[in-house]
Structures are given as structure tokens and as C-alpha cells.
Amino acid sequence: MKSGNFRKTKQGAGMTKKGVAAYRRANPGSKLKTAVTEKKPTGKRASRRKSYCARSAGQMKKFPKAAKNPNSRLRQARKRWRC
């Protein structure tokens, strides 16, 4: 993966559309998608957000150092997903 496939931490961390497309080309059959950033998603997108927020909450417990740092990739990604 090239460095242009990931957002900088200040931009909210995570992968870009370009990065997701590159990953899916390299891994046929992958269902990777970009972040759900809209304010009130419905249906499957709402479920994806809820699931991501639950998983990342577990990461916050596992990595307390990252959880305390507001500039960590974990905190910035959660902010972008609106968790």
C-alpha cells in the first residue's frame, strides 16, 4: 500500500477511497468500505457505524495510552466515524 492510501491523523485517520480501491484490487472478494461519516445513516450504514464504534471502544480499553491521547489515530478515527 502506498502512503497516499491512508489519511493523515489530523484528517481523521483511516483509509481513503483510493486506498480502499487499491486494497480491493489486491484482495479479490474483499468487502472493505470507507468510513460512515454522515450524521444520521440509515439501514446497513447505521449498522456498520454501530459495529465499528463498539469494536473501537474495545481498542480504547486495550490501548489506554492511545485512548488518552486526543491526537492518536484511534481517537481521530472514532471522531471521524462520529462515535
- DSSP 8-state secondary structure symbol assigned to residue 10: G
Cα 69 to chain centroid distance, Å, stands at: 17
User: How many Å apart are CA 74 and CA 68, to the nearest integer?
Assistant: 10
pLDDT at 42 over 90: yes
User: How many Å apart are CA 61 and CA 23, to the nearest integer?
Assistant: 28
The pTM of this model reads 0.84
Provide the grid cell at 37: 461519516
Tens of pLDDT along 45-81?
999 999 999 999 999 999 999 999 999 999 999 999 9
Q: What is the pLDDT of residue 10?
A: 86
